Amino acid sequence: MSETIEAPAEQAERTQQPRTYLMCRPEHFTVSYSINPWMHPDDPTDTQRAVSQWQKLYDAYRALGHKIELIEPQPGLPDMVYTANGGFVIDGIAYPPKFRHAERQGEETFFTEWFRDRGYEVVEPKTTNEGEGDFLLAGEVILAGRGFRSSDESHRELADIFGREVVSLTLVDPRFYHLDTALSVLDPVVAPGAEPTIAYLPGAFDEASRRILAERFPSAIRVADADGSVFGLNSASDGRNVFISPRATGFEAQLAERGYTPVTIDLSELLLGGGGIKCCTLELRGAGA
Ligand code: ARG
């Protein structure tokens, strides 16, 4: 009689899902103001270095078969490289940002026009929200960060626009001011009702949010403080390849144990602005008409 031995879950074969991302070359990147604890305008930045590090991320995405769209960088808007904040897009519907800080509000029209010109259905935001920096699609639900940038009202707006359940999560550590600095969705596409694997830094959330995460995502990867504090969670995943910081060595090992393929890209220069891989990557779900 033959016996079937089930492979342990962590040995699972991971399937890559081709993605389309919006990126912005950091030609005007610098740190000239401070709106998060990582930004120190008195410390020097090297724009050329930022561009070449960014280029490696761009090349890695392309080499693995992803489609990259670009938005023109604008002088005087040094944070435009962080396109995750440029909106939130599902099924060709784009919800542009309304930034909390005046320093970034000039970006709003450029992102909005970019979506319009490409035929996305643009729904004008009524309240403060910072796009995919704070909103992450996890299976059928939208996880939404609050506490530092996006407003509570934006969570309700999101639910109305996209007709999905929005799960609000409260961030409590100023170093992790956007949801995408503390939580990463590793499976961009899952079967209906299936639990996507997520990874998160428990200490970045309040007690109630930690409880919600534990209940809804029992198989989540909990990341150590050492990995979280080097922006290890600010990563992009295609379901198989996970693009992460080379400094997050513990997280890298956890990913490998679960059958993912970590791809390390160093964006140390962009970390001076308080951003990493995910911040430079906006997922475009459903092309414009
Ligand atoms: N300097 C930018 C800011 O504070 C960094 C944005 C990082 N983006 C992100 N998706 N976490 O707004």
Q: In CATH, what number is assigned to the domain containing residue 204?
A: 3.75.10.10
Q: Is 185's pLDDT higher than 70?
A: yes
Strands of 88-90's sheet in order across: 88-90, 93-95, 121-122
- Please state whether beta strands 236-237 and 241-244 pair in parallel, antiparallel, or not at all (unpaired): antiparallel
Ligand 1 binding pocket includes 178 (Cβ within 6 Å) = yes
For residue 41, report the distance from its CA to the centre of ligand 1, in Å: 15
For residue 85, report the distance from its CA to the centre of ligand 1, in Å: 7
Calculate what percentage of the chain has a pLDDT beyond 90.
Answer: 94
DSSP conformation class of 220:
P
Question: How confident is the model at residue 1, as a pLDDT?
Answer: 43
Question: How confident is the model at residue 225, as a pLDDT?
Answer: 97
Ligand 1 binding pocket includes 277 (Cβ within 6 Å) = no
Question: How confident is the model at residue 121, as a pLDDT?
Answer: 97
* Span 239-277, pLDDT tens digits: 999 999 999 999 999 999 999 999 999 999 999 999 999
Question: How confident is the model at residue 287, as a pLDDT?
Answer: 72
With tokens 């969705």, the residue in question is: 185
Residue 57 lies in a domain: yes
Residue 3 lies in a domain: no
Atom of ligand 1 nearest to the CA of 39: 1
Residue 28 lies in a domain: yes
pLDDT band at residue 6, thresholds of 50, 70 and 90?
A: low
Q: Is 136's pLDDT higher than 60?
A: yes
How many domains are there within the chain? 1
With CA atoms as reference, report the closest residue to 66 among 119, 23, 95, 12. 23
Question: How confident is the model at residue 2, as a pLDDT?
Answer: 47
Q: Which domain holds residue 198?
A: 20-283
Residue 59 lies in a domain: yes
Ligand 1 binding pocket includes 133 (Cβ within 6 Å) = yes
Candidate from 29, 31, 36 with most ligand 1 atoms within 8 A of CB, to mutate: 36
Q: Is 227's pLDDT higher than 50?
A: yes
Candidate from 85, 105, 271, 281 with most ligand 1 atoms within 8 A of CB, to mutate: 85
Q: Is 102's pLDDT higher than 60?
A: yes
Ligand 1 binding pocket includes 85 (Cβ within 6 Å) = yes
Candidate from 39, 54, 79, 135 with most ligand 1 atoms within 8 A of CB, to mutate: 79
DSSP conformation class of 86:
G
Active site residues: 178, 279
Ligand 1 binding pocket includes 131 (Cβ within 6 Å) = no
Residue 13 lies in a domain: no
Atom of ligand 1 nearest to the CA of 177: 11
Handedness of CA 247, 62, 85, 170 (dihedral sign): negative
Whose Cα sits closest to atom 7 in ligand 1? 275
Q: Is 207's pLDDT higher than 60?
A: yes
For residue 207, report the distance from its CA to the centre of ligand 1, in Å: 24
- Average pLDDT for residues 153-181, to the nearest whole number? 98
pTM above the 0.75 mark? yes
Ligand 1 binding pocket includes 35 (Cβ within 6 Å) = yes
Residue 247 lies in a domain: yes
For residue 138, report the distance from its CA to the centre of ligand 1, in Å: 21
Residue 7 lies in a domain: no
With CA atoms as reference, report the closest residue to 183 among 162, 210, 157. 210
Ligand 1 binding pocket includes 180 (Cβ within 6 Å) = yes
Do residues 128 and 163 lie in contact, with contact meaning Cβ atoms separated by under 8 Å? Answer: no
Residue 217 lies in a domain: yes
Residue 144 CB neighbours (<10 A): 22
Ligand 1 binding pocket includes 279 (Cβ within 6 Å) = yes
